[in-house]
Amino acid sequence: MQAEPTKSLVGEEYEVEVGPVAHGGHCIARTSEGQVLFVRHTLPGERVVARVTEGEEGARFLRADAVEILQASKDRVEAPCPFAGPGRCGGCDWQHAKPGAQRRLKADVIAEQLRRLAGLTPEEAGWDGTVVPAEGDKLPAGQVPQWRTRVQYAVDADGNAGLRRHRSHEVEPIDHCMIAAAGVSELGIEDRDWSGMASVEAIAATGSQDRMVILEPKPGARLPLVELDRPVSVMRVDEKDGGIHRVHGRAFVRERADDHTYRVGSGGFWQVHPQAADTLVKAVMQGLLPRKGEMALDLYCGVGLFAGALADRLGEKGAVLGIESGKRAVEDARHNLADFPRVRIEQGKVESVLPRTGITEVDLVVLDPPRAGAGRRTVEHLSSLGPRRIAYVACDPAALARDLGYFRDGGYRVRTLRAFDLFPMTHHVECVAILEPAAKSL
């Protein structure tokens, strides 16, 4: 027997009272029939007309945009960006909220994830409940921090560079991204014709004048001659293997953090906010308080940011093992840390390389996993090594909270948690949790 087709509710409108913020840049509301709506472009406490953008009758939840604000929150402002709003650019979630309110929304999300997934109150997590802006990001009303040092532009059918609409492949053409760093805006990507390209990524290093564009041609298209307003290295994404290859210039940019220069090859990870790397190194080192001669792990180490900071502080008798899956990032990390003979970088997935190392004991651990977090197996393994402190750097509060629960099962408690607004105007937030053996704190 064939199942009845479900009726799409896309385009339906509901007048709703908006409830609390939820993880992902939206707030929760309910239709009069009790169906849950995740509504974007609104704020808690507002009364809005929500138009459904995804979902059907009987679905667990619907997605919607607030298309009319009937009663506005006191935290609402006119979005400074002309490309923000329902159905428009999907890059920023909180353009319509005051900067302080954006940080409170992020704090509410962290608190909710900690409570739900780790069973922790802010006090139990050693967190003061605030999300701290990066230095220099507290600006007069109406001004927006220009923090994105890496921008991935999509290209529309007419060759215009733009940004993707929310949960869509459609392109919102733009003539300027307000949150792009000056070094990116100066390249003038939005003013050029990019016909034949699927995407153009622009990178403006903070630690040097290095600039790079990574072009992804559409199948069969030829690369254009790239003439921008500043000298740049040019890379291309290979149609067949997806690899990134050099066209001209350097195949890396140079970044600075904690008084070191780091080479970051195309495709390699580096924090996007200009102050993020220093802010996070500082928070991690303040939490770990490394001692001379200790042995440390830097997991998901990228090009070696935390391994370098640890190596400096652990001295000649200390040792650091970094593990990173990206081949190119590992080459960069080995190059960046070549002056430290007691730093070793292994290539591969943490979950398979770590058990193979045969290490049975460490003093300190830094882990900075991708959004999915580290997972139960890795957390169990780390707990069994008995580190005196662990620094967990997290870009997803949900994965962090889940993993903190696993650490608790492994005998570790959260000593402190700090949260940083390193992605203003978006819903993203970075956390640093410091853990220690629970027995120690009895």
Ligand X SMILES: C[S@@+](CC[C@H](N)C(=O)[O-])C[C@H]1O[C@@H](n2cnc3c(N)ncnc32)[C@H](O)[C@@H]1O
216 near ligand X, rule: CB under 6 A: no
- Residue 252, interface with ligand X (CB under 6 A)? no
The footprint of ligand X on residues 50-79 (CB under 6 A) is none
- Residues touching ligand X: how many (CB under 6 A)? 18
The nearer residue to ligand X, 9 or 297, going by C-beta atoms, is 297
Distance between CA atoms of residues 281 and 246, nearest Å: 31
Binding part of the chain for ligand X, among 116-124, 157-165, 302-310, 382-390 by CB under 6 A, reads: 302-310
Nearest distance, CB of residue 185 and ligand X, angstroms: 24
Taking every pair of Cα atoms in the chain, the longest distance, rounded to a whole number of angstroms, is 72
329 binds ligand X (CB under 6 A): yes
269 binds ligand X (CB under 6 A): yes
| Residue 392 interacting with ligand X (CB under 6 A) | no
Among 215, 321, 323, 417, binds ligand X (CB under 6 A): 323
Tokens read off for 278: 């220093």
The least distance separating ligand X from the CB of residue 269, rounded to whole angstroms, comes to 4
Burial class of residue 13 (count of CB atoms within 10 Å of its CB; 0-12, 13-18, 19+): middle
Rounded to whole angstroms, how far apart are CA atoms 42 and 352?
Answer: 43
User: Does residue 302 belong to the site contacting ligand X (CB under 6 A)?
Assistant: yes
* Shortest Å, Cβ 76 to ligand X: 32
Q: CB neighbours (10 Å) of residue 332?
A: 24
Tokens of 315: 């001295």
Task: Tell me: does residue 93 bind ligand X (CB under 6 A).
Answer: no
Rule CB under 6 A: say whether 349 interacts with ligand X: yes
Q: Are 378 and 354 in contact (CB under 8 A)?
A: yes
Residues 111 and 109: their CA atoms lie apart, in Å, by 5
Q: Is 324 in the site for ligand X (CB under 6 A)?
A: yes
Residue 370 as a binder of ligand X (CB under 6 A): the answer is yes
CB nearer ligand X, residue 43 or residue 393: 393
Q: Is 416 in the site for ligand X (CB under 6 A)?
A: no
Three-state DSSP class for 132? strand
Give the whole-angstrom CA distance, residue 326 versus residue 254: 18
* Closest CB to ligand X among residues 90, 373: 373
**Which of 61/269 has CB closer to ligand X?**
269
Q: Are strands 412-421 and 131-133 parallel, antiparallel or unpaired?
A: parallel
- In the sheet that holds 131-133, the strands lie side by side as 131-133, 412-421, 430-437, 389-394, 364-367, 295-299, 319-324, 343-347
Q: Smaller CB distance to ligand X: residue 169 or 356? A: 356
Choosing from 90, 133, 145, 326, the residue that interacts with ligand X (CB under 6 A) is 326
Q: Does 281 bind ligand X (CB under 6 A)?
A: no
Does residue 92 have an active-site annotation?
no
How would you class 292 by CB atoms within 10 Å of its CB: exposed for 0-12, middle for 13-18, buried for 19 or more? exposed
Task: Determine contact, residues 320/310, Cβ cutoff 8 Å.
Answer: yes
In terms of CB distance, is 228 or 385 closer to ligand X?
385
327 binds ligand X (CB under 6 A): no
81, 177, 301, 395: the catalytic one is 395
Quickly count: other Cβ atoms within 10 Å of residue 160's Cβ: 20
Residue of the chain from 89, 105, 235, 305 that contacts ligand X (CB under 6 A): 305
Residue 368 annotated in ligand binding:
yes
Using CB positions, name the residue nearest to ligand X: 302
Closest CA to 395 of 365, 426, 364: 426
CB 25 within 8 Å of CB 427: yes
Residues of the shown chain interacting with ligand X in the complex, contacts defined by CB under 6 A? 269-271, 300-302, 305-306, 323-326, 329, 349-351, 368, 370
Which residue numbers are catalytic?
395
Annotated binding site for S-adenosyl-L-methionine: 271, 300, 324, 368
